[in-house]
Amino acid sequence: MSIVVQKYGGSSVADVSRLKQVAERVMRTRRQGHDVVVVVSAMGDTTDDLLALARQVSANPDRRELDMLLTAGERIAMALLSLAIRELGGEAISFTGSQSGIITNDRHVDARIIEVRPFRVEDELARGRVVVIAGYQGVSYRREVTTLGRGGSDTTAVAMAAALGAEYCEICSDVDGVYTADPRVVPGARRIASLSYEETQELAESGAKVLNAQAVEFAKDKGIVLYARATASPPGAESAEGGTVVRRFPPRMPGAVVGVASERDVLVLEARGDSDAAAVLAALDEHGVAGKQLHQSGAGEVTLVISRENLHDEGRLRADLAARFGGRVRLIDDLGALSVVGAGINQSFENLRRGSEALTAAGATPRGVATSSFRITWMVPRATLDDSVRTLHRAFLEQPSPALP
């Protein structure tokens, strides 16, 4: 029997009635003749609520203890979903990340999966059971419980699909696929029926929350076909109703923009030339803080963008940077990152010019820009971010390209 891995996000299991609907969908998939592995997120806003609780106790919570706390969210969801499937007459068993054999490094709150040893999952599938796995968590070689970073249940699902040789992996959410922009921000955004791994990974890394970037990276490496779908849609590889399929595709016409994404909660680090760039980067590593779009000038000046998503002890980082580098290192806190994505997007400077002009005309003059072969990212005032997403969506995806001089 072929194995199908389905992942259900927090909004899909936010309350008991939704959880029961998920159990029905799982049973439907089972009746289609598949072995089913279900990866589940914490119910609703549980992870945010647990983080808020930790902050009431500690302004800079210890990362190991945070992991102990945060993994509880998915553990609740997995047990309840297993019970709901059993109520429908299915045979189900729930496992934590550790029990499922998800082995990670020991970078707490932002761990990477190193290998998956799904022996217990395989045994239970062989017994005819549906296996329900707590997403977003694993265990390190030192037997410490870890979490995979926000949105990490997607990663659990893809890693499990790869380890089990699954036919496909469905990521089920409140939105019925990947859109040309966040449909909550751009009402006119369109669903994209098919995307390559590279396009999806760039969208995810640029802040499109619908799929987790690390998950897409895994899928690309292992050639796992991903379906991003609404939980309300019917299951199945051939399900015609909407969704986005992510898999290997021949390259599109280079230069076209496929989507706009943004990341609101970022800090921009600027280090002056006399600050010793290597020491600044070493300090970030000591704090387990990853930066992106790093730029270092010949004069030793460094700028980079830090995502706050998995930075739960910012106060400690700020205090340490101030103690070591004083005013030579600044953290700028009023910008957001705004990206357009597409293969070969920078073959000429036309897209860059068009985007910059549109933003400036709309009064959101960019404060910096970075490019790669798949992406252009502008740093814009955070207060204008959503408007700027709409501006770029209009400029690139709602009208035929006007010829630039």
Give the contact letters, 35-54, x = binds to ligand ADP (CB under 6 A), - = no: ------x-------------
Strand ranges of the sheet holding 302-307, from the earlier edge strand across to the other edge = 291-296, 302-307, 266-271, 329-332
Residue 101 binding target from ligand ASP, ligand ADP, Mg ion, none, CB below 5 to 8 Å by type: none
Residue 47 binding target from Mg ion, ligand ASP, ligand ADP, none, CB below 5 to 8 Å by type: ligand ASP
Beta-carbon-side half-sphere exposure of residue 151 (alpha carbons within 13 Å): 16
| 349 to 173, 379, 405: CA distances (angstroms) | 36, 17, 12
CA 201 to chain centre: 9
Q: How far is the C-alpha of 223 from the C-alpha of 220, rounded, in Å?
A: 5
CA 11 to chain centre: 15
Considering only the stretches 2-10, 271-279, 306-314, 365-373, report the one whose residues sit in contact with Mg ion under the rule CB under 5 A. Answer: 2-10
The strand pairing partners of 245, in sequence order, are 194, 227
Closer of 156 and 303 to ligand ASP (Cβ): 156
Residue 175 binding target from Mg ion, ligand ADP, ligand ASP, none, CB below 5 to 8 Å by type: ligand ADP
Among the listed residues 304, 199, 183, 164, the one whose alpha carbon sits nearest the alpha carbon of residue 242: 183
Residue 150 binding target from ligand ADP, Mg ion, ligand ASP, none, CB below 5 to 8 Å by type: ligand ASP
Residue 208 binding target from Mg ion, ligand ADP, ligand ASP, none, CB below 5 to 8 Å by type: ligand ADP
Closer of 309 and 350 to ligand ASP (Cβ): 309
Residue 60 binding target from Mg ion, ligand ASP, ligand ADP, none, CB below 5 to 8 Å by type: none
Q: 367: left (phi > 0), else alpha (psi -120 to 50), else beta?
A: alpha
Give the contact letters, 339-368, x = binds to ligand ADP (CB under 6 A), - = no: ------------------------------
User: Residue 112 burial by CB count (10 A; 0-12/13-18/19+): exposed, middle or buried?
Assistant: middle
151 binds Mg ion (CB under 5 A): yes
Among 208, 224, 311, 397, binds ligand ADP (CB under 6 A): 208
Among 93, 132, 210, 359, binds ligand ADP (CB under 6 A): 210
Q: How far is the C-alpha of 383 from the C-alpha of 402, rounded, in Å?
A: 28
The residue at minimum Cβ distance from ligand ADP is 9
Q: What is the DSSP letter of 242?
A: S
How many residues contact ligand ADP, by CB under 6 A? 19
DSSP structure string for 284-311: HHHTT--EEEEEE-TTS-EEEEEE-TT-
Closer of 246 and 359 to ligand ADP (Cβ): 246
184 binds ligand ADP (CB under 6 A): yes
Tokens representing 173 are 């959410």
Shortest Å, Cβ 317 to ligand ADP: 25
Cβ contacts of 275 within 8 Å, gap of 6 or more: 300, 302, 325, 328, 329
Per the listing, tokens 């987790």 go with 212
Tokens representing 188 are 């006119």
Shortest Å, Cβ 20 to ligand ADP: 17
Binding to ligand ADP, residues 130-169 (CB under 6 A) = 151
Residue 23 binding target from ligand ADP, ligand ASP, Mg ion, none, CB below 5 to 8 Å by type: none
Interface positions with ligand ASP (CB under 6 A): 9-10, 41-42, 47, 73, 135-136, 150-154
Closer of 275 and 310 to ligand ADP (Cβ): 310
- Contacting positions for Mg ion (CB under 5 A): 9, 151
- Contacting positions for ligand ADP (CB under 6 A): 9-12, 41, 151, 173-175, 178-179, 181-184, 208-210, 259
